[in-house]
Amino acid sequence: MEKVKLLVIEILLFPITFLNAMIPDSSAVLNTVNKVVDWQIEHYSDMNKNRIYKSFGDLSWENGVFLSALSEWAEFRNDSSLISWYRNICERNRYSLSTANHRIYHADDLAVCLMYATLYDKTGKDEVIHHTLSRLEFIMNHPSKAVFGEKSKHVNDRWCWCDALYMAPPVFARFANITGNNKMRDFMDKEFWDTHKFLYDESESLFFRDAKYFKRKEKNGEKVFWGRGNAWVLAGLSRIITYLPSDYPSRSKYISLFKEMASRIVSLQDKRGHWHASMLDPISYPDPEMSCTAFFTYALWWGINNGVLDEEIYLKSAINGWNAIVGSVQKDGMLGWVQPVGQAPKKVTAEMTEVYGPAAVMLAAMEILKFSDGFAL
């Protein structure tokens, strides 16, 4: 009888034990990230050569996403070389935000601000966050009157496209913590849920990219849900929840949305661990898309680490996602299969890359190292 009990216990524990054996080795994770980051830094200044939509410098949203992630990775690893590199970028830009196109409200221009928050946490220097606070306070105190769905040159003054939920809300939430100004949280909270009401498809548990896609269909007849667009949202939720106080009234709503989306998203992961440019039509877009794969992978590991997602249910998907990332890193360290700047599913090739891909890789790696206590390395 005792042998039978032991056998039953072994059978029940087998899936967990097997998955634990598959957890990425910390040294291998570090090796992968170091290769990816080294390549990206080496090519940082010449990325525009292959861009259709040219970046306008360090403060562009693409670079802002990369630099914010790199600053966190550099401080997390206490890497003096990377710390010096990102701090030099902060200084040469005088801790400012983009003024391209003379925009004030646009969410993309806030992406770089999390780099300044990271630096401020380390230095405590007010000059580091002065420009960011000025911008956030103006937006908050003079809210845009743009209306979702209306055709207007000011339509993007509010977060009417799903990418914006990665670029702006985490910034408001984090700077609310820095300043102690709860009005920043409340402003973010209202704007986030207005966007959710406008773009979220309750029946699919996915976000439309923007209003243009409400009625569009894929070749297979399914609705158009962009891979990276939904990855922006899930990764953005990870960061919003991180920065919100545990007693903030609507924090539980963000957690519920995160869990609802995560459940849907893992059901759409392919057998190789990838996600695709189109969430619901992978046949039309059969190649992997690594920016959404990496951001989804980050979000899953974050969810597991923070007790938001059940490890027994989600760990396999998180592991497979990381393995898919590793398989897309080329010999020289370039992360391939990254869809360029866009707003809808497009064909992706192994030669395509962009800075937000490595950004997601760094974020995912930090969560994996936390999971495995690898941060002590």
Alpha-carbon Rg for the chain in angstroms: 20
Tell me if 172 is assigned to some domain: yes
DSSP assignment of 104-169: SS-GGGGTTHHHHHHHHHHH--GGGTHHHHHHHHHHHHS-----TT---TTGGGS--STTHHHHSH
Sign of CA dihedral 89, 95, 98, 102: negative
Q: Look at residue 216 and tell me whether its pLDDT is greater than 60.
A: yes
Q: Over range 362-376, report the average pLDDT.
A: 86
Q: Look at residue 27 and tell me whether its pLDDT is greater than 70.
A: yes
> How many domains are contained in the chain?
1
Tell me if 122 is assigned to some domain: yes
Question: Percent of the chain at pLDDT above 90?
Answer: 88
Boundaries of domain holding 234 = 22-48+58-147+154-372
User: How far is 314 from 318, CA to CA, in rounded Å?
Assistant: 6
Q: Look at residue 360 and tell me whether its pLDDT is greater than 70.
A: yes
Q: Give the per-residue pLDDT at 262.
A: 99
Tell me if 7 is assigned to some domain: no
Q: What angle separates helix 356-371 from helix 227-243, to the nearest 10 degrees?
A: 50
Tell me if 16 is assigned to some domain: no
pTM: 0.94
Using an 8 Å Cβ cutoff, are 195 and 159 in contact? yes
DSSP assignment of 313-368: HHHHHHHHHHHHHHHTB-TTS-B-S---S-SS-----TT---THHHHHHHHHHHHH
Q: Look at residue 125 and tell me whether its pLDDT is greater than 70.
A: yes
Residue 254 token pair:
């963000």
Tell me if 92 is assigned to some domain: yes
Q: What is the DSSP letter of 49?
A: G
Q: Return phi, psi of residue 223, to 5°.
A: -65, 155
Q: Look at residue 356 and tell me whether its pLDDT is greater than 50.
A: yes
As annotated, the active-site residues are 163
Binned at pLDDT 50, 70 and 90, residue 20 comes out as low
Q: Look at residue 63 and tell me whether its pLDDT is greater than 80.
A: yes
Cβ-Cβ contacts under 8 Å for 292 (sequence gap 6 or more): 227, 228, 230, 231, 275, 276, 277, 339
CATH of the domain at 292: 1.50.10.10
pLDDT, one tens digit per residue, over 226-283 is: 999 999 999 999 999 999 999 999 999 999 999 999 999 999 999 999 999 999 999 9
Q: Return phi, psi of residue 201, to 5°.
A: -95, 105
Tell me if 2 is assigned to some domain: no
Tell me if 341 is assigned to some domain: yes
